[in-house]
Structure 1
Amino acid sequence: MKNEKGFTLVEMMIVMLVISVLLIITIPNVAKHNTNINNKGCEAYVKMVQAQVQSYMMEKNQVPTLAQLSTDGYLNENATGCPNGTKVVSIDAEGKVTAVAKPTN
């Protein structure tokens, strides 16, 4: 009989079990951190829009709308909400920027 080198079926199944346990542990943590990352991105976007509103107010002496910011080049043309798409950005009469949840249909 030849002396063949390789893995036995039991060894391969143990490796698959270890990999499965590691995946079961890591997937929920990744999903939880994904939500935090999206929230931080939305907060950063609101701060950026607030800075653009202040810049517009200094130059034009009026409170802008999102449409005015877009047409004058302060924001991208399609910038109406947070990058993750869950919240809509709005500007009130005093120039304060807020993000609120999108209304459901």
Structure 2
Amino acid sequence: MKNEKGFTLIEMMIVMLIISVLLIITIPNITKHNSSINDKGCQAFVKMVQAQEQSFEMENKRVPTGVDELVKAGYLREDAKGCPNGKTDVTIASDGTVTAVAKTTTP
């Protein structure tokens, strides 16, 4: 008989079992931390808008009327009007405070 070298079916099934167990352990941890990651990204975005609002206020001696004015003046990119999670908008109050508010959905 020939001496053929290779993996047996049992060896392949053991490897697949180990890979499956590792996936079962890691995937729930990733999805559990997804909302926490989005919240931290939103907090960082609000701080960045606050810094840009302060820059606008120093240069123009007035508080911007909203995020749209910061975009038009070139302080923010066009696509930077809300948090990265897509569920929150950023607003600027008349006193210059920047807050994140949940988007309102219109039917």
- TM-score of the two chains, using structure 1 as the length reference: 0.90
1:87 corresponds to: 88
Alignment match, 1:59: 59
Counterpart amino acid of residue 31 in structure 1: T
The residue type paired with residue 67 of structure 1 is D
- Output aligned runs, 1:1-105, within 5 Å: 1-64=1-64, 65-105=66-106
Taking only aligned residues, the RMSD between alpha carbons, in angstroms, comes to 1.3
Say which SS state the counterpart of residue 20 (structure 1) adopts: helix
Unaligned runs of 5+ in 2: none
What runs of 5+ residues in structure 1 fail to find an aligned partner?
Answer: none
CA distance in 1, matches of 2:97, 2:30: 33
Distance (Å, rounded) in 2 between the aligned partners of 1:70 and 1:38: 23
Instruction: Please state whether the residue corresponding to 1:104 is helix, strand or coil.
Output: coil
Shift of 1:84: 2.1
CA shift, 1:36, in A, is: 2.1
What's the secondary structure of 2:89's corresponding residue? strand
Range that drifts further, 29-38 or 73-82:
29-38
Distance in 1, matches of 2:71 and 2:102, equals: 21
Provide the aligned length of Structure 1 versus Structure 2: 105
SS of the residue aligned with 1:79?
A: coil
1:79 Cα deviation (Å)? Answer: 2.0
Identity, % of aligned pairs? 67
Offset, 1:78: 2.9
